[in-house]
Homo-oligomer: A and B are copies of this chain.
Amino acid sequence: MTDTLRADGRTPQQTRPVAIERGWSAQAEGSALISFGGTKVLCTASFTPGVPRWLTGKGTGWVTAEYSMLPRSTNERMQRESIKGRVGGRTHEISRLIGRSLRAVIDTKALGENTIVIDCDVLQADGGTRTASITGAYVALVDAIEWARERGFIAKRAQPLTDSVAAISVGIVDGVPLTDLAYVEDSRAETDMNVVVTGSGDFVEVQGTAEGAPFKRSELDALLDLALVSTTELAELQRDALAEGR
């Protein structure tokens, strides 16, 4: 019975309810408040003409990302990294992952010498915050590019976006492959995998980790199958959110 398998009654193939509140921020050039069940991430895209010095004059743009969690987004309060005076390894790692994932669908030549900084701030965390961040960040990114095009910073005909991108966490819990792990599932998973996939179904990142026992090739294959189903659904939700007028 699947209802005993997953605390919230989902089937193994079923993601939590996903909502994308596009244009949440009145300040940013692009933004989305995305939720996967109890996980809520505010994604903003900040557009600025020009690029960092090391890129100047090369005719290419720059997209980067920063991820952070509010101190009480989690069940127990965490110390702020600004107070600690240093950004932790996990934060760095996820920020870099989000940046790489978005750059995989960006033609930096077409973007021109412009910079887009994506901020993904986790307001509430219940598993899958990095994959929710990537999925929401894409929507914010699209709107920031559109904003810049309307104001002439990006040429009318330029196509900086080559595809869409979304991500999901999948894992094996009690021997069963499950998609979109909630926090309680994630902490019990034997194997945990974050998969970033384009709208065309190609892989951008595949990160599988044996939390408990090492995993077999067949398990890896089952998880990738599951991830592709979920990211196809997420790509559709992104399209729907972007279809509405801002």
Binding site for B on A (CB under 8 A): 25-28, 31, 38, 42, 44, 46, 48, 66, 68, 70-75, 77, 80-93, 95-96, 100, 104-105, 117, 119, 121, 123-125, 163, 193, 197-198, 200, 202-210, 213-217, 220, 224
Across-interface contacts of A91 in B (CB, < 8 A): 82
**Bound form: Cα–Cα A77–B77 in Å:** 26
**Bound form: Cα–Cα A70–B26 in Å:** 13
Chain B: which residue is nearest A214 at the CB level? Answer: B202
B89 with A96: CB separation less than 8 A: yes
Across-interface contacts of A66 in B (CB, < 8 A): 71, 80, 83
Q: How many of these chains are in the complex?
A: 6
Across-interface contacts of A203 in B (CB, < 8 A): 208, 210, 214-217, 220
A116 vs chain B, min Cβ distance (A):
10
CB-CB under 8 A for A92 and B83, given A204-B210, A206-B220, A214-B198: no
18 A-B pairs besides A82-B87, A202-B214 with CB distance below 8 A are A25-B72, A25-B123, A27-B74, A46-B72, A48-B77, A66-B71, A66-B83, A70-B119, A70-B121, A85-B86, A86-B87, A93-B93, A202-B213, A202-B215, A203-B215, A203-B220, A204-B209, A206-B206
A187 vs chain B, min Cβ distance (A):
15
CB-CB under 8 A for A207 and B210, given A26-B124, A27-B74: no
Chain B: which residue is nearest A87 at the CB level? Answer: B82
Chain B: which residue is nearest A99 at the CB level? Answer: B89
